[in-house]
């Protein structure tokens, strides 16, 4: 089966059960400063899990694009990817375990034809310290489902992942209780790590048994959460019904939610009974293309890792670029640069030392054209960005290698490694990749000390840039969010209708806003925009929310970007004064102040700079 066939079957199955299909959000989160990228299906839907009404109702189905930066170094096995699509079906206060688990079981066994005998499940063992009981209800449901499929499924308490390696599993055991590290889901992980106001809940995961032999290097005995590759998680039903209180305890949310996430490429691999996700069509087209360029075979063990790294990284970079993220040294752009450069290094290892990486865009765009037509529409732009980055990197690589080869006695000091970074554009991870090939030892701790002292790129290799989040300083963040709407309206007033949002990131300290404009904005104009925002604040204008058909909103002049990503019914926020003056009218998902009088302080634009070609960036504060 192709990835598209599995995705469509999933959509059709849940639409049949009353779910409304909604498009994927962009890879870069809107109004969520906690991460640089969307890393889970629930991230764009958080307001609705907390009680806000979704325009499409209480049953939603989607396939959300996601990227996990922490997995970059892990790429090389048969099942991990940095970019992935997460199939999701959502109950926003509607159905719960009794419907969710049977539906997913039916989808896997009836729609995709997976053998029930290959399925194993895990459930939450409870958390006494936080007063959260174990999930016995899910066990009852799973036993019934397996029995109806002719399988007597017994349940067993495992505990931790480490305990699993010690205990292993016995004949007939199919339902496994694990602790909160494995079967509790929130954006912050286990209950102890969750900030106040963060939702979470127990989950039930489904694993597919590919039947491969257990590798004891991972642990003495195999079990569903073993990393040896025999068992691969293909779906996780999160029963999001708890929220953390001020005193650290947990209480039930006003509504019980189902947040299901299923790795689309892993489910497709299971449907094809092939444990290697790189044999699924959307990655295999890249493998085949690279094989033609290099004359090397993916089947040769020595080439496998390079093929996989290139296929994963270039696909991720393509999807980032089409969503507006271009290679740079900071923020999300840093990871696009890192992906492309690692792909170039592995192309070299396969003997392809010419600028050919951009030729991969065409087969990727073609295989995804039904679901993501923008890849074909922007193919030339994507190719250009990748080609430019490969050209720059090959020049950087040439200069950096010369410096590396000068290392004395096979050792590179922290200071020398930092000079490689700051002068020649060599990030530490690239130096560490090259060092073994040149028999060089790198002083990593010395490099880190140099980084701290120079305060350069303090976030290398980390996914999280900001400590704050939706639950930290929420009131100030909301004020800045509404002020940012006013700022965009002011920019459009003084710079023209060609100005549109190209990205935003708002914390309790400041707003950072990217907008389309071909040249630097002078201070005089910025002062006028500031005045526009502050005039609206003192005008005590009210915030009105209405829902309307997307086409009607677009035709009536409502401001918005990325229209194709919104559902058919959209939320329009209008800031309007008592005398009828409209200060701002824009698509958005909230949250906002009820009246501009709630915005405390004076709005000040503190910086204006280039973000990328044709895009400017401003930073502003309330002071």
Residues 618, 526 contacting (CB under 8 angstroms): yes
What is each CA distance from 423 to 392, 403, 427, 437, 446, in whole angstroms? 14, 11, 10, 22, 17
Taking Cα atoms as reference points, which of 544, 530, 542, 541 lies closest to residue 601? 530
pLDDT tens per residue, range 130-149: 999 999 999 999 999 999 99
- Which tens digits make up the pLDDT trace of 5-25? 999 999 999 999 999 999 999
pLDDT of the residue at 201? 96
Q: What is the pLDDT of residues 188-215, one digit of tens each?
A: 889 998 988 889 999 999 999 999 999 9
Question: Domain spanning 3-278 has what CATH number?
Answer: 3.30.930.10
Residue 437 has φ and ψ, to the nearest 5°, of -65, -30
Q: Would you kindly state where each structural domain of the chain is located, as residue ranges?
A: 3-278, 280-384, 405-466, 474-622
Q: So what's the architecture of 474-622 in CATH?
A: 2-Layer Sandwich (3.30)
Q: What is the mean pLDDT of the chain?
A: 90
Residue 460 has pLDDT above 60, yes or no: no
Q: 464 pLDDT exceeds 60?
A: no
Residues found in the chain:
623
Specify the range with the lowest mean pLDDT, choosing from 261-270, 464-473, 549-558, 592-601. 464-473
Q: 528: how many CB neighbours lie within 10 A of its CB?
A: 15
Strands, E assignment, 216-352: 231-244, 250-263
Task: Say yes or no to pLDDT of 461 above 50.
Answer: no
Give burial (CB, 10 Å; 0-12/13-18/19+) of 183. Answer: buried
List pLDDT tens digits, range 112-132: 999 999 999 999 999 999 999
Nearest C-alpha neighbor of 206 from the set 248, 176, 185, 179: 176
Predicted confidence at residue 456, as pLDDT, reads: 41
How open is the CA angle 266-270-275, to the nearest 5 degrees? 80
For the ranges 41-55, 414-428, 516-530, the maximum mean pLDDT occurs at: 516-530
Identify the pLDDT of residue 34. 63
Q: Which residue has the higher pLDDT, 616 or 406?
A: 616
Residue 552 in tokens: 């009607």
Q: Which residues contact 245 (CB under 8 A, 6 or more apart)?
A: 196, 251
Determine the 3-state secondary structure of 133 from DSSP: coil
Report for 359-363, 463-467, 611-615: range of highest mean pLDDT: 359-363
At residue 222, the pLDDT reads: 96
Assign 467 a pLDDT band (cuts: 50, 70, 90). very low
Per-residue pLDDT tens digits for 227-280: 999 999 999 999 999 999 999 999 999 899 999 999 999 999 999 999 999 999
Q: Percentage of the chain with pLDDT > 90? A: 65
Q: How far apart are CA 599 and CA 478, in angstroms?
A: 9
Residue 221 pLDDT grade (very low, low, confident, very high; cuts 50, 70, 90): very high
What pTM did the predictor assign? Answer: 0.74
Residue the block writes with tokens 């400041």: 510
Q: What percent of the chain has pLDDT over 70?
A: 95
Mean pLDDT along residues 294-302: 96
Is 223's pLDDT higher than 50?
yes
φ, ψ (nearest 5 deg) of residue 527: -65, -40
């Amino acid at each position: 089966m192709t990835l598209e066939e599995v995705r469509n079957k999933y959509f059709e199955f849940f639409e049949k059960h009353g779910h409304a299909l909604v498009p994927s959000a962009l890879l870069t989160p809107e109004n969520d400063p906690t991460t640089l990228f969307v890393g889970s299906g629930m991230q764009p839907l958080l307001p609705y899990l907390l009680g806000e009404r979704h325009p499409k109702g209480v049953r939603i189905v989607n396939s959300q694009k996601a990227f996990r930066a922490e997995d970059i170094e892990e790429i090389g096995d048969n099942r991990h990817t940095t970019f992935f699509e997460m199939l999701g079906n959502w109950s926003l206060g509607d159905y719960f375990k009794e419907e969710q688990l049977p539906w997913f079981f039916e989808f896997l066994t009836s729609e995709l034809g997976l053998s029930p005998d290959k399925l194993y499940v895990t459930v939450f063992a409870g958390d006494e310290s936080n007063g959260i009981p174990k999930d016995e209800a899910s066990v009852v449901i799973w036993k019934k489902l397996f029995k109806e499929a002719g399988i007597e499924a017994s349940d067993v308490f495992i505990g931790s992942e480490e305990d699993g390696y010690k205990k292993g599993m016995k004949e007939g055991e199919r339902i496994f209780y694990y602790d909160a590290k494995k079967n509790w889901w929130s954006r912050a992980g286990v209950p102890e790590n969750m900030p106040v106001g963060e939702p979470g809940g127990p989950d039930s995961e489904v694993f597919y048994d590919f039947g491969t032999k257990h590798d004891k290097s991972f642990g003495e005995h195999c079990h569903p959460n073993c990393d040896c590759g025999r068992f691969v998680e293909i779906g996780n039903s999160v029963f999001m019904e708890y929220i953390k209180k001020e005193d650290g305890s947990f209480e039930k949310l006003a509504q019980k939610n189902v947040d299901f996430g299923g790795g689309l490429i892993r489910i497709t691999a299971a449907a094809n009974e092939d444990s290697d996700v790189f044999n699924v069509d959307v990655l295999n087209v890249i493998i085949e293309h690279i094989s033609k360029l290099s004359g090397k075979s993916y089947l040769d063990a020595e080439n496998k890792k390079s093929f996989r790294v290139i296929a994963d990284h270039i696909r991720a970079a393509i999807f980032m670029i089409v969503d507006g993220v271009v290679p740079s040294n900071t923020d999300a752009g840093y990871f696009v640069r890192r992906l492309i450069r690692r792909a170039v290094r592995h192309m070299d290892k396969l003997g392809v030392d010419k600028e050919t990486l951009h030729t991969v865009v065409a087969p990727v765009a073609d295989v995804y054209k039904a679901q993501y037509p923008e890849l074909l529409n922007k193919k030339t732009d994507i190719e250009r960005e990748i080609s430019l980055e490969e050209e720059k990197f090959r020049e950087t690589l040439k200069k950096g290698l010369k410096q590396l080869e000068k290392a004395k006695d096979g050792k590179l000091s922290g200071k020398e490694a930092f000079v490689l970074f700051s002068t020649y554009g060599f990030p530490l991870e690239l130096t560490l990749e090259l060092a073994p090939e040149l028999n060089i030892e790198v002083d990593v701790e010395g490099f880190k000390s140099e980084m701290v002292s120079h305060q350069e790129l303090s976030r290398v290799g980390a996914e999280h840039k900001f400590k704050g989040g939706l639950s930290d300083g929420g009131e100030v963040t909301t004020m800045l969010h509404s002020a940012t709407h006013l700022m965009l309206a002011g920019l459009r007033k003084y710079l023209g209708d060609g100005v549109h949002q190209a990205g935003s990131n708002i914390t309790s300290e400041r707003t950072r806003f990217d907008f389309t404009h071909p040249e630097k904005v002078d201070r005089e104009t910025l002062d006028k925009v500031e005045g526009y925002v502050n005039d609206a604040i003192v005008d005590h204008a009210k915030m009105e929310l209405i829902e309307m058909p997307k086409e009607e909103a677009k035709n009536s002049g409502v401001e918005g970007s990325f229209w194709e990503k919104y559902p058919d019914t959209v939320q329009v926020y209008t800031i309007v004064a008592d005398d009828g003056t409209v200060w701002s009218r824009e698509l958005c998902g909230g949250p906002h102040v009820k009246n501009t009088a709630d915005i405390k302080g004076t709005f000040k634009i503190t910086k204006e700079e280039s973000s990328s070609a044709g895009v400017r960036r401003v930073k502003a504060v309330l002071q």
